[in-house]
Structure 1
Amino acid sequence: MTVFHRNEKREPLPAALQGGVVAIGNFDGVHRGHRSVLERALALASERGVPALVLTFEPHPRTVFRPDQPVFRLTPAPVKARLFEALGFHSVIEYPFDTQFSQRSAEDFVQSVLADWLKASAVVTGFDFHFGRGREGGPAFLMEAGRRHGFDVSLIDAFRDENAEVISSSRIRTLLADGNVTEAAGLLGYRYTVEAEVIGGEKLGRTLGYPTANMRLVPETELKAGIYAVRFRRPDGSLHDGVASYGRRPTVTENGAPLLETFLFDFSGSLYGEVSSVSFFGYLRPELKFDGLDPLVVQMKRDEEEARALLSGVQPLSDVDARMSF
């Protein structure tokens, strides 16, 4: 996967990527709703024999407009890029989004980015995509601009699940805040996955016989505190089943910062400094405060047994899930 970061120097896009089909959107979560846009772009590019590219924006525009209320990102840029690659894209453009960019006119965006820089032959996006200063560029504007600048435009309707409900990033965030990682996975089309560096801890888990790989997730993470059955992927691609605790560790700390602590089954070795990922397969129980360490260890053994049983029978939800968590 090649990731391009557009900057003000306006480096030309490699000639091999010009004239392609461009899927445009934030695509936070790269969920099944987004998949209809992305798969349409891939199909069009294949039919025409041209490159398929994703144009997305970093950071998330909502974080720029409301910095005091940063959005809970389902897929930070590195995880998003892995998902695009799993779908079949070879290039993603992460366009910097800031207040200056937000004030550019819709016509300027079309002219400078889509026509002059990308030399797009076709654009695919959601039916409700708006862009430019004051969201002045909408579907009708984009269609007309495409006619003027020589690129086709495909607008994709909102994708609905089996119950005819629209699949959206906000809906998935709500499920994760409730600990419902199973239903969230059904909407994502893969298991919810986080990525972070493994950091040092207090080594209490090692003392208790449950050494953990500790990760500090971004502050805006709204995943429900509790115990989860997970799968852990190291940078070398190796996978390990495990059980993870996310929360403030009330038995051993007072108001500790939220931490993701993963116990890897049948593993020994150092993970410090590795940027690894954790995929969530099931919610086992809420975070509890125990009366001492002995009852905590007893419960941890139960959690391990339950997680092992749950993970022993899991199957991929999709090709993307197979690439991410299997």
Structure 2
Amino acid sequence: MQILVPTTVTEALPEIAGVDYDYYDPAVPLPPHYLGAQCLVVWGNTREQLVDARERMTGLEWVCALSAGTDLIDSVGFAPKVLVTNASGHHDAPVAEHTLMLILAAVRRLDRFYAAQVEGRWASELGGVQPPGPQRDPSTGFPGLATLRGARVTIWGFGSIAQTLAPLLTALGAGVTGVANSAGERAGYPVVGVSEVLDVLVSTDILVNILPSLPETQGIMGETVFDALPSHAWVVNVGRGATVDEDALDSALRAGTIGGAALDVFAEEPLPASSPLWTAPNVILTPHAAGGRPVEVDRLIGENVRRFLSGEPLNNRVN
């Protein structure tokens, strides 16, 4: 079995009898002697490269994506006979870590500290004596919550990433409520259904979006959601950009309907220079950086190769 592995994968893959790993550049078309491979591992590939692989790989049976989402692969449209798997679960810790960083930056207003540093200004208004607990009243003077202890965090999309993030927030004293398609309890946290989300948002300090891009989630976070949030609340998006109505978000930021936004994903990436989000007030931007470090992909690939060879169902199959 020939498996094509992008050079973006640096882990040593397990030796398996009858399996050859051949490495390729994910930014250029495959050389002719690779076109008969049965498996294409995808990580950091350009769309053009994947389209070329779809057209020229006549023996392809399995696309092994190392991303949690498969939006790009879906858009390329491999043949229905080609199995597609993802790396769901292998991005949980890195994404949770990045999300916590964005939340803390928003709560403590790291963006304001950095702006003062660039100006060479000692930002005394951000330090010194501050009222205890979350500062939800703008008259306190501090332009953020100031602390997670006692803060109310709502995580919309309460899957494995959220369940990794939630205990970190709990350890810092925040209260966490999840939102998912079905209500109940997950990993010890209360979860409400989407039909109840507006009731929860009215008392939310930080809304974290970890939603996938699906037909039913397109633009789901829009004017209605932003209007329901308190004016001090921050929106953090590490899910998919398509789930947010960016025009409505920009309007809410400029009108002061919400306190701010910390965003890692966008409807169009890279974020165009013309996007108003670059200049909207109280915004922290990162360039889709949360999930770029999947863990234990050697184990994921090795186990699925074994399953493929033995005819067993593959783990993390998405089609």
Q: Give the TM-score normalised by the residue count of structure 1.
A: 0.28
Q: Give the TM-score normalised by the residue count of structure 2.
A: 0.29
- Name whichever structure is richer in strand by fraction: 1
